[in-house]
Amino acid sequence: MKRAVFNQKGGVGKTSITCNLAAAMAKLGRKVLVVDLDSQANTSKYLLGDRMDRVQATIVDFFNSTLSFRLFQDSLMDTIYETEFPNLFVIPAHDSLKELQPKLEGRYKIFKLGEAIDVAREKLGFDEVLFDTPPALNFYSMSSLLAADRVLIPFDCDAFSEDAVDQVMIAVNEVSQDHRPDLRVEGIVVNHYQSQAKLPRTTIERLINKGLPVLEPYLTSSVIMRESHSEGTPLPFYKPSHKLTLEFMALAQKLINADTDHARTPTPVARRPKKSMDAEV
């Protein structure tokens, strides 16, 4: 399954959720690829640690290749790095993503990432792909939505988070209707949950009453996450028995089970993308 972890609101724990879900899936025996599309490259640093300084090729090299006549699908293969954690791989990001974006938008390259990811999955046998997206609806987040099967929305229970969820739902629905009929929001991942506080409980209840898919277990707030970032080691490999780790493991298992159920269901025939968005110049 290919999942985009997306929220236009910053500070919701998008990177932590992406990396730790990926690590949990890897520890459960899945072969997992994480694609970092955020120019801050925090996901890349988290998963590669000091090796990030020695990275030769990043997602920027792939996107640059789509602007030329190079075989872009194979150019993505050069950007895939095996982490020190079993079954876990990453395509790192780079700060120059920001400078490259206007060129990519002008050349209508928004479908290329999805095409190349499918080639990489077939060649290398990835079971799971997670896209860590920037906190904005831009070329890179749209590329991930067009490449993904499902969307996970990180949610941190503050006063503005509910509006942010509504914005993501609208964006996903538009992409689904126009280009990816099978794309849908798989669930809202509740982060920094404090069971004793009233605001998180009431906010989550409102989401559920709207009929939105709120995933359980909720991810509790813990300083162990900051320690994990500092060590450059996702929780399933850093503190396997910690409460927050077990929550990630349970959530990952639920998503893997959903993969199995999806595999048993016939896939709808997708409509062809509009040519105007994928035109070659």
Reply yes or no on whether the pLDDT at 268 is more than 60: no
The HSE-up count of residue 92 (CA atoms within 13 Å, CB side) is 24
Higher pLDDT, 276 or 34: 34
Please, which pLDDT band fits residue 117 given cuts at 50, 70 and 90?
very high
Q: What pLDDT does residue 71 have?
A: 57
| Closest residue by Cα to residue 90 from 59, 60, 61 | 59
| Closest residue by Cα to residue 39 from 118, 147, 109, 138 | 138
If you average pLDDT over residues 112-134, what whole number do you get?
Answer: 96
Residue percentage of the chain with pLDDT more than 90: 79
Q: What pLDDT does residue 68 have?
A: 81
Higher pLDDT, 108 or 35: 35
Q: What pLDDT does residue 197 have?
A: 86
Report domain extents, the chain: 2-261
If you average pLDDT over residues 60-89, what whole number do you get?
Answer: 87
If you average pLDDT over residues 222-243, what whole number do you get?
Answer: 97
What values do phi and psi take at 52, rounded to 5?
A: -60, -30
Residue 90 vs residues 47, 87, 244, 255, 260: alpha-carbon distances, Å: 7, 10, 23, 19, 23
Q: Which CATH class is domain 2-261?
A: alpha beta
Q: Which amino acid is at 189?
A: V
**pTM (two decimals):** 0.90
Q: What pLDDT does residue 281 have?
A: 31
Query: Tokens at residue 16, please?
Result: 């932590």
Q: Which amino acid is at 266?
A: P
Q: What pLDDT does residue 196 have?
A: 83
Q: What pLDDT does residue 161 have?
A: 83
Q: Encode pLDDT of 147-175 as tens digits.
A: 999 999 999 987 778 889 999 999 999 99
Q: What pLDDT does residue 275 have?
A: 40
Please, which pLDDT band fits residue 37 given cuts at 50, 70 and 90?
very high
Q: What pLDDT does residue 69 have?
A: 65
Q: Encode pLDDT of 256-267 as tens digits.
A: 998 877 666 554
Reply yes or no on whether the pLDDT at 273 is more than 80: no
Q: What pLDDT does residue 266 have?
A: 58
What values do phi and psi take at 113, rounded to 5?
A: -60, -45
Contact present, 26 and 90 (Cβ < 8 Å)? no
Between 61-75, 115-129, 188-202, 218-232, the lowest mean confidence (pLDDT) is in 61-75
Asked whether the CA dihedral 137, 221, 21, 217 is positive or negative, the reply is negative
Q: What pLDDT does residue 73 have?
A: 57
Cα dihedral: 64, 66, 69, 75 (round 10) = 80
